[in-house]
Amino acid sequence: MLSKKKGSKKMGTKVIMREMAVVSKMFCSSSEVVLRVRTRPHVVGGGGFVVTDLHTHEVVFKVDGVVGKKDHITLTDAYQTPLLLIRRKGGIVEALSLDKQWRGYTSNYVGSQKLVFTLKDPKPGITNRPVRVSIEQNNNNFYCRNLQIRGYFPDRDCNIVDSSGNVIAQVEVIKEMKQMMEKKDVYQVVVKPGIDQALVVGIIAVLDYIQKGC
């Protein structure tokens, strides 16, 4: 469970979690969730990974590239229901920025897209600037709108932290695979209570795409 400093309020012996339902409230759990990620070999417009629940072994999310569209990623649930379309923002916006920008969108039932987060990846040569994520939704229930990536994702050793430095999700090597070459292709993500798992996986999808140099 999160402590008071990590976005919870303690009343007597009862702890009330603050939710951050960016994609959907249905992906926010009242308890900590451990997800296992298995990546697929990168191919043009493909690759991605499959995410399963560590305890039930059921597929929770799937991440894929978009065939024929470079720098486009899709996140779906186990039933292939679209959850996020993530694409890189190029053109003059990126040219004038110190960062490469990725934007995640949800779609409503008529296909209208809504921007929900922006990830900014510092351009090569820019030092001392972490990868940053901004939550774009105007929801007063969110206790935090700005996130950072701390650590080194290619080694599967990094955290997603809130603006106070509290860890909301942790990417880590699976202990029993530390001595195996497969450790970077199969790893786990620990998501804290109340945090949108779809958002976390969407962020990791961008980090994975960047790492592969797609």
Q: Is residue 201 part of a domain?
A: yes
If one counts the domains in the chain, the total is: 1
| Helices of type H across the chain | 91-95, 197-211
Q: Is residue 7 part of a domain?
A: no
Q: At 92, which CATH number?
A: 2.40.160.200
Q: Strand, coil or helix: what is 133? A: strand
What pLDDT digit, counting tens, does each position of 120-178 carry?
998 877 677 899 999 987 766 676 889 999 999 999 999 999 988 999 999 999 877 66
Q: Is residue 52 part of a domain?
A: yes
Q: Is residue 206 part of a domain?
A: yes
Q: Is residue 3 part of a domain?
A: no
Q: Tens-digit pLDDT profile for the chain (214 aa)?
A: 323 334 444 334 344 456 788 999 999 999 999 999 998 765 544 568 999 999 999 999 999 988 778 889 999 999 999 999 999 987 776 666 778 999 999 987 666 789 999 999 988 776 778 999 999 877 666 768 899 999 999 999 999 999 889 999 999 998 776 655 556 789 999 999 999 999 999 999 999 999 877 5
Q: Tell me the C-alpha distance between 207 and 79, whole Å.
A: 24
pTM of the model: 0.85
Q: Is residue 1 part of a domain?
A: no
The boundaries of the domain holding residue 164 are 19-211
CA 147 to chain centre: 11
* Angle at CA of residue 176, ends 172 and 181, nearest 5°: 80
Residue 152: per-residue pLDDT: 93
**Residue at token pair 């620990």:** 190
Q: Tell me the C-alpha distance between 191 and 169, whole Å.
A: 4
Closest among 165, 163, 170 to 192, alpha carbons compared: 170
Own/partner pairs, 74-80, CB within 8 angstroms, 24+ separation = 75/198, 75/201, 75/202, 75/205, 77/198
